[in-house]
A and B are shown apart, each in its own frame.
Chain A
Amino acid sequence: MNIGLLWQHEFVQNAFLAGGCVAIAAALVGYFLVLRAQTFAGEALTDIGFTGATGAALLGLSPLPGMLILSLLAALAIGLLGERLRGRDIEIGMVLSFALGLGVLFLSLYATSSGSHATAGVGILFGSILSVSRGDVWLSLACALGCSLALLILYRPLLFASTDPEVAAARGVPVRLLSVLFLLLLALATAISVLVIGVLLVFALLVAPAAAAERLSPSPAGALLLAVLFALGSTWGGLLIAFLGPGQHLPASFCIATLATGCYAGATLGLHLRRRHLSQRPAQPPHPCKGRRTAA
């Protein structure tokens, strides 16, 4: 089977298009997520989103809107509680496990009521990119555009607030508001990432490309670009392997996660090499401090 032939199937087109949108949104949001060291919040939002998705399935709705609504609400709650949640990992963990438990309950109710096997649950947990509909493509395109546009507007203050919230607040940056807005974007990005790669593997798209890029490029703009390239490469590469690969029926999620992890491993290796190169710089500034000369 070649790519041209493959492309004639609508489900293949949908997979590549939705995958591309999701990869871009996840990479951009992921870069700030890594910078802000909020990966636990990312995990929290996907877990709560899982409950939303299974709840929606139980009500006979499409899982994606359910996931979106619940994870956006959770993002709002986490953002508004803000400081009070710091160092409360245990409490957050309890809420998460309760949410996941609820999700399992919904799933089992859904499976009994519809008499089907828990395929919907498997799709949510591990991704179901091959069953993405045209509607999902549009939805993920809208989400990706929304995320990119919002990050473009928030770029400088968000970068400032993410790296040095104290000084940013003193300089008049609305740090709390940015934190809430960012969590909402994160909820959006995780919800559509689940479409491609599932709740359990969402880190592969959200964190791995961004973390790899952050290691390779110290310039924020360069790192964002690299993150998008890594995410797109992993997603499309993973899909190609899944469709054309030797083993036949390799799960797409597995291929994507493997490629993304590979990017991260490669970047870590690259960082070590670059650090070794950079550490050969002159240990001290070549000329003495100007201050002492003029003060004397």
Chain B
Amino acid sequence: MSTQHNQRAISLHLASERPSSPEADPGAGTTPAAIIELEGVSVCLGGRTILQEVTFNIRPGEFIAVLGPNGAGKSTLLKVLLGLIKPSAGRVRIFGQAPRRGNQLIGYAPQHRTLEGALSLRARDLVGFGLDGHRWGPGWFISGRRRRQAIIEEALAEVDALELADMPVALLSGGEQQRLLIAQALLSQPRLLLLDEPLSNLDISHEQEIIALIARLCRARGMTVLLVSHDVNPLLPVIDRVLYLARGHAAIGRPEQVITSSTLSALYGAPVEVVEALGRLFVVGVDI
């Protein structure tokens, strides 16, 4: 209940903060047209083909796990959606438009790295970047400082990190930092959340915590989530579909359709076995 309340409060606050866009209101009655469309998209970086004729659609509100071996182009795909990398061929549409940098409808938390500079900042400063980090000026004199802090604190509360607000980031654990980055990505009220390996460097209990948090946000806000992961098992209870990338190709569908020996063998172009053991799926035969 309180989540719903917070959410409405934040959108109310933000209404005057950012230029209102026609898509800003998700609208209950809109048709569930594809939110992301890729058609024959190829990406070449430094002479190497990363993605080759990738085609798929993602509908609003879907929770998608992006899987695949190292170097399959998972992070590259997210960067294409963010407008940071231009595809060499094909057509990409997000919310019906070409990808562009600074799209406020997309929240992004890249692969966890040590944020050297951020280590000396407070959690609230790091999260606050998501709200107005891209704006010019110091932001010290604007009238809405109190309101700004309230919005940041609500976002922190939403990821259960309110008590960390004034802690230096350097003192926080990997899981706590991950929660801050998610809070930061959520501050612009995105309709699409791109998370690159949010589960790496987490122990199992924190992994469960982050997954539950993302699933809750995805359902409560009707937000589309693309989550890059190495392991599908902890995600199986919450995701709608998986997008599996290998050798530049992609397969999308329900986990039980995609994570099968035949589909993955075709994707990898090599014999691959999917083994179920101890209630978990294992892909055997290639480096995953």
Contacts of A279 in B (CB 8 A): 171
- Chain B interface, DSSP helix/strand/loop, else mixed: mixed
Which among A154, A166, A220, A292 is the interface contact of B212 at CB below 8 angstroms? A292
With A35-B120, A153-B137, A164-B118 as known contacts, state yes or no: A291 contacts B129, CB within 8 Å: no
- Interface positions of A from 260 to 293, Cβ below 8 Å from B: 275, 278-279, 281, 285-287, 289-292
Question: Is the Cβ of B138 less than 8 Å from the Cβ of A167?
Answer: no
Scan B177-208; emit 1 where CB is below 8 A from any A CB, else 0: 00001001100000000000000000000001
Stretch at the interface among B109-117, B226-234, B263-271: B109-117
Complex contacts, A157 vs chain B, CB 8 Å = 133-136
**CB within 8 Å for A152 and B167 given contacts A215-B120, A223-B120, A291-B216:** no
A241 contacts chain B at the CB level, 8 A cutoff: no
Distance A36 CA – B115 CA, assembled complex (angstroms): 10
Q: Is B253 an interface residue (CB 8 A)?
A: no
- Number of contact residues on A: which range applies? 35 or more
A193 at the interface (CB under 8 A from B): no
Chain B residues with CB below 8 A from A248, complex form: none
Q: Which residue on A lies nearest to B169, using beta carbons?
A: A218
The residue from B84, B108, B133, B213 contacting A160, defined by CB atoms under 8 A apart: B133
A173 an interface residue at 8 Å Cβ cutoff?
yes
Q: For B181, what are the chain A residues with a Cβ–Cβ distance below 8 Å?
A: 167
Q: What count of chain B residues pass the 8 Å CB interface test? A: 48
Given A155-B139, A278-B171, A163 and B117 touching (CB < 8 A)? yes
Q: A8 at the A/B interface (Cβ < 8 Å)? A: no
Say yes or no: B216 contacts A294, CB within 8 Å.
yes
Q: Mark A99-127, 1 if CB is under 8 A from B, else 0.
A: 00000000000000000000000000000
Contact A290 B134, beta carbon cutoff 8 Å = no
- Encode contact with A along B153-166: 1 for CB under 8 Å, 0 otherwise: 00000001101001
Q: Does B254 contact A (CB under 8 A)?
A: no
Q: Could you say which residues of chain B place their CB within 8 Å of the CB of A155?
A: 137-139
- A5 adjacent to chain B (CB < 8 Å): no
**A153-B136, A154-B136, A156-B136 given; A37·B116 CB < 8 A:** yes
A169 at the interface (CB under 8 A from B): yes
Q: With the chains together, A292 CA to B125 CA distance in Å?
A: 27
* B121–A220 touching, CB < 8 Å: yes
Min CB distance A270 to B, Å, is 13
Complex Cα gap A35–B166 (Å): 18
Does B160 contact A285, Cβ atoms closer than 8 Å? yes
Measured CB to CB, the closest approach of chain B to A143, in angstroms, equals: 20
Least Cβ–Cβ distance between B153 and chain A, in angstroms: 15
* Given known contacts A163-B115, A164-B115, A173 and B137 CB-to-CB distance under 8 angstroms: no
Determine the residue in chain A with the shortest Cβ distance to B78: A170
Nearest A-chain residue to B79, judged by Cβ: A170
Q: Given the known inter-chain contacts A287-B160, A292-B209, please indicate yes or no for A168 contacting B101, CB distance below 8 A.
A: no
User: Is A171 part of the contact surface with B, judged by Cβ < 8 Å?
Assistant: yes
How many Å from the CB of A210 to the closest CB on chain B? 11
Q: In the bound complex, how far is the Cα of B125 from the Cα of A156, in angstroms?
A: 10
A111 to B163 CA separation, bound complex (whole angstroms): 64
**A295 at interface, CB cutoff 8 A:** yes
Q: List 24 A-B contacts (CB under 8 A).
A: A156-B129, A156-B134, A156-B137, A157-B134, A157-B136, A160-B134, A163-B116, A167-B110, A167-B129, A167-B185, A169-B84, A170-B83, A170-B108, A171-B101, A172-B134, A219-B121, A221-B138, A221-B140, A278-B167, A281-B167, A286-B163, A291-B209, A291-B216, A294-B3
Contacts A156-B136, A278-B168, A279-B171 known; list 12 others, CB within 8 Å: A156-B139, A169-B84, A218-B167, A219-B125, A286-B163, A290-B213, A291-B209, A291-B215, A294-B216, A295-B212, A295-B215, A295-B216
Q: B-side interface residues toward A, CB under 8 Å?
A: 3, 82-84, 101-103, 106, 108-110, 115-118, 120-122, 125-126, 129-130, 132-140, 160-161, 163, 166-168, 171, 181, 184-185, 208-209, 212-213, 215-216, 238
Give 4 nearest A-B pairs by CB, closest first.
A172-B102, A291-B212, A160-B133, A163-B117
